[in-house]
């Protein structure tokens, strides 16, 4: 049974990963696809744990290697489409209204972000599939910007195919030692989180200073 290869740390997240991996024992590669789809919808679930275990299962003969790659990629696209749908449902006008009510956020910020996405969204969707956490979240602005769905699916599918193939092959070749790579990916994910936090802090500091400068300018004008 493949679940013997998992090493739950007793946390809720470890238990959740074990449950998702257990699906592979029951329904084969479709379980791997469901696990990866869940990872897209809930970024804390580490694909770096699910994908190598799918490769490990394939190496044991539970299912074919191509099935592991195919269904994990299908799962990636399905999960991304769900988030794309959320972004499309929110829409630009609703997002503008939300931004107008948030402190430190301007409607112009939304317009600039959407304009940037129209220029660089293709690269962001494709290369975003290689960045932890970001690979899930990028689907939402794609929906808000109403990127043509065929283009979104194509870029998501290609990027996910590359990412998933790499980690499925890691499980295939490393076998029981697949968790070695997970340790390095944990470091990469922590780096991404740190960069995001720094960016948020920088944004808040710059915006507060800007608002204070505007208030001082208004007083002098009076």
pLDDT of residue 187: 64
| pLDDT-flagged residues of the chain (< 70) | 1-18, 20-21, 43-46, 104, 175-193, 196, 199, 203, 207, 211, 213-222
Place of tokens 């720094």: 198
- Alpha carbon distance 116, 128 (integer Å): 15
Contact of 109 with 206, CB cutoff 8 Å: no
Burial class (CB in 10 A: 0-12, 13-18, 19+), 141: buried
pLDDT in tens, 23-68: 777 788 888 888 888 888 876 666 777 788 888 888 888 888 999 9
pLDDT of residue 205: 74
pLDDT of residue 24: 77
pLDDT of residue 162: 95
pTM, entire model? 0.76
pLDDT of residue 152: 95
């Amino acid at each position: 049974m493949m679940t013997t290869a998992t090493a739950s740390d007793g946390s809720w997240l470890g238990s959740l990963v074990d449950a998702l991996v257990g699906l592979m024992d029951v329904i084969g590669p479709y379980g791997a696809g469901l696990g990866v789809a869940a990872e897209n919808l809930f970024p804390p679930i580490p694909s770096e744990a699910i994908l190598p275990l799918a490769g490990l299962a394939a190496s044991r003969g539970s299912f074919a290697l191509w099935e592991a790659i195919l269904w994990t990629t299908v799962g990636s696209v399905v999960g991304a489409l769900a988030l794309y749908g959320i972004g499309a449902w929110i829409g630009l006008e609703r997002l503008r209204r939300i931004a107008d009510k948030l402190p430190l956020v301007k409607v112009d910020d939304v317009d600039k972000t959407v304009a940037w996405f129209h220029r660089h969204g293709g690269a962001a969707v494709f290369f975003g599939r290689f960045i932890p956490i970001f690979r899930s979240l990028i689907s939402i602005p794609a929906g808000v910007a109403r990127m043509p769905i065929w283009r979104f699916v194509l870029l998501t599918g290609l990027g996910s195919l590359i990412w998933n193939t790499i980690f499925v092959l890691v499980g295939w070749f490393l076998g029981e030692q697949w968790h070695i790579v997970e340790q390095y990916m944990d470091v990469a994910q922590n780096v991404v989180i740190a960069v995001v936090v720094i960016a948020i802090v920088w944004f808040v500091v710059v915006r507060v200073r800007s608002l204070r400068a505007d208030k001082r300018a208004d007083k002098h004008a009076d």
